């Protein structure tokens, strides 16, 4: 193949240098719109370009027939090796994810955006325990306020990785009963204003699948499945005395779990989208530490291990390039722990328990 440029008159040294520099740079700034007319004759491609020099011969450009046939054998046009990088008909294939990233300065991306987010949450929190199915032993409930921090890195091939961090605090009320260790009798009691701190962090990785013009319309959407590793820590400060004058104790909860989820995204306008997140969390290992010395003088803490449980979480966010907001929920269901001993005795357990949290959140991306 050859690239054959329209005939040129002799150029000055400066003009020749400028044209050579333009050509070497991979552009055809000296070409007119005629550069799009790539003609095929047999097995040879001709790209005819108009000479724009002041004294140039524009006959090829002015004669339409010249653009539709190879130049005559007597032509003294210069020839150059064919370079597919200069051929507008040979543009490289661009993946939907790459197009999505390139367009993100004009429309909101459908993929997982690279960057950081900081957010605030307001939620209703409830923790409850059961010794027998559907028979509540106690619960702790009240409002919580949280702060979140997320970070993600996305690539043109669709893969992404990132992490998130969350801290939440609430002053919650305990409603349950005091157990007489000698008789086993339970007396209802209340202890308002217990301090609860929740810290959670996760490392995640996944892939964005971008679907253009889905369902034969202009609707665009994406799916982002992901998986990772998470850790959840809770500190419940139950110290002090309840309304019966009985002392309480503090405890900590630790969950290591595997999150597996998917986030469908739908573009609403050029600058907004809806993100629906659904996630399942499989407990790998959990343990509870109860500081019974807060209520029984001289007692050591009790460590209960947990191996069976799961969590479910989700959110529905309306997102703009910088801001997003919407509802969210978190749910945990952990089965009864193994029994444990301390210096007081054996048989201490952590009952089957559930945590239910739901609220609203707002985030800012930077």
Predicted confidence (pLDDT) per residue in 209-256, tens digit = 988 766 655 558 899 999 999 999 999 999 999 998 889 999 999 999
Are residues 234 and 117 part of one domain?
yes
Global pTM value: 0.71
Q: Which residue has the higher pLDDT, 40 or 128?
A: 128
H or E stretch covering 310: strand 309-319
- 107 and 80 in one domain? no
Task: Summarize pLDDT for 94-142 with one digit per residue, the tens.
Answer: 566 666 655 555 678 889 999 999 999 999 999 999 877 667 889 999 9
Which one-letter DSSP state was computed for residue 337?
Answer: P
Q: Domain ends where: 39, 62, 92?
A: 92
Long-range contacts of 293-299, Cβ-Cβ distance < 8 Å, separation of 24 or more: 293/249, 294/238, 294/239, 294/247, 294/248, 294/249, 294/250, 295/246, 295/247, 295/248, 295/249, 296/344, 298/343, 299/342, 299/343, 299/344
User: Which tens digit of pLDDT belongs to each residue from 243-296?
Assistant: 988 899 999 999 999 999 999 999 888 889 999 999 999 999 999 999 999 999
Please, what is the average pLDDT of the chain?
A: 79
Q: Retrieve residue 123's tokens.
A: 């939620």
Mark whether 284 and 249 lie in a shared domain: yes
Summarised one tens digit per residue, pLDDT across range 190-207 is 999 999 999 999 999 999
Do residue 268 and residue 158 come from a single domain?
yes
Pick 339 or 177 by higher pLDDT: 339
CA dihedral (208, 209, 213, 214) positive or negative: negative
43 and 192 together in one domain: no
**Cβ distance 116 to 153 under 8 Å?**
no
> Hey, is 56 helix, strand or coil?
coil
- The answer, yes or no, to whether residue 159 has pLDDT greater than 80, is yes
CATH of the domain at 300: 2.40.128.90
Range of the domain at 20: 2-92
Sheet strands (E) in 66-107: 79-81
Looking at the fold, whether 114 and 28 belong to one and the same domain comes out as no
296's tokens: 């029984």
Residue 332 CA: distances (Å) to CA of 53, 125, 128, 237, 281: 76, 12, 10, 20, 9
* Residue count (the chain): 366
Query: Which of 339, 338, 319 is closest to 276 using CA atoms?
Result: 319
């Amino acid at each position: 193949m050859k690239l054959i440029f329209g005939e040129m008159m002799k150029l000055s040294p400066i003009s020749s240098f400028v044209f050579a520099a333009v050509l070497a740079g991979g552009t055809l700034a000296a070409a007119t719109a005629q550069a799009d007319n790539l003609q095929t004759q047999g097995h040879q491609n001709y790209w005819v370009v108009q000479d724009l020099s002041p004294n140039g011969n524009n006959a090829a450009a002015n004669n339409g027939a010249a653009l539709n046939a190879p130049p005559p054998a007597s032509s003294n046009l210069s020839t150059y090796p064919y370079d597919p990088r200069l051929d507008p008909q040979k543009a490289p294939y661009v993946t939907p994810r790459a197009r999505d990233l390139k367009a993100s300065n004009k429309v909101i991306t459908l993929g997982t955006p690279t960057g950081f987010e900081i957010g605030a949450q307001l939620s209703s929190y409830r923790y409850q325990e059961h010794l027998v199915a559907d028979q509540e032993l106690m619960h702790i409930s009240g409002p919580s306020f949280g702060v979140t921090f997320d970070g993600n890195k996305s690539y043109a091939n669709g893969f992404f990785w990132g992490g998130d961090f969350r801290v939440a605090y609430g002053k919650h009320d305990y409603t349950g009963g005091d157990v007489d260790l000698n008789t086993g009798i339970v007396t209802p009691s209340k202890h308002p204003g217990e301090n609860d701190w929740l810290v959670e962090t996760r490392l995640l990785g996944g892939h964005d699948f971008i679907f253009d013009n889905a369902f034969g319309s202009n609707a665009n959407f994406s799916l982002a499945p992901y998986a990772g590793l998470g850790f959840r820590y809770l500190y419940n400060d139950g110290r002090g005395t309840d309304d019966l004058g009985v002392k309480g104790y503090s405890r900590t909860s630790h969950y290591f779990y595997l999150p597996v989820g998917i986030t469908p995204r739908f573009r609403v306008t050029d600058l907004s989208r809806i993100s629906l997140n659904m996630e399942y969390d499989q407990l790998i290992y959990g343990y509870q530490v109860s500081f019974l010395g807060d209520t029984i003088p001289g007692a050591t803490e009790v460590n209960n291990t947990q191996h069976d449980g799961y969590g479910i979480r989700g959110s529905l966010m309306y997102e703009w390039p910088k801001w997003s907001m919407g509802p969210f929920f978190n749910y945990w269901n952990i089965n009864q722990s193994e029994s444990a001993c301390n210096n007081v005795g054996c048989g201490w357990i952590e009952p089957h328990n559930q945590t239910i949290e739901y609220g609203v959140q707002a985030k800012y991306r930077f």
